[in-house]
Amino acid sequence: MPSYNNKNIVLHELIGLDVEVINCSDPEQIGVSGRVIDETKNTLLISTRRGVRRAVKKCSTFRFKKGSKSFIVDGEEINFRPHERLEKSLKFYKRRK
């Protein structure tokens, strides 16, 4: 199992993590929380208590949770196809602390 930390979260698999939208240009999306069940280039599919919601990555800020740890991620940092994230997110990886 991968070891998630604040720096490498942008490189890891997001499906299966708990997530909350903490900021978004669409006020309807703020506060949406649940588990990531799928991911596309531009969106996260989140399973919530009220059904499945789609959150746009580019205009959102997310709080991902893995166990007792939580990580804040700007959607710009993960706005790639899942299989392309490793190579394209390296610039964000290097900037994160």
Print the domain residue range for 49.
Answer: 8-95
Q: Rounded to two decimals, what is the model's pTM? A: 0.88
pLDDT of 91 reads 74
> Is residue 3, in this structure, part of any structural domain at all?
no
**Of residues 44, 68, 46, the one with CA closest to residue 57:** 44
> Is residue 14, in this structure, part of any structural domain at all?
yes
> Is residue 73, in this structure, part of any structural domain at all?
yes
Half-sphere exposure of 18 (CA within 13 A, CB side): 9
Residue 21 has pLDDT above 70, yes or no: yes
* Overall number of domains in the chain: 1
pLDDT of 86 reads 76
> Is residue 46, in this structure, part of any structural domain at all?
yes
> Is residue 51, in this structure, part of any structural domain at all?
yes
pLDDT of 41 reads 94
| pLDDT-above-70 percentage for the chain | 97
Residue 97 has pLDDT above 80, yes or no: no
- The larger pLDDT score, comparing residue 60 to residue 5, is at 60
Q: What is the CATH number of the domain that holds 52?
A: 2.30.30.210
Residues forming a β-bridge with 42: none
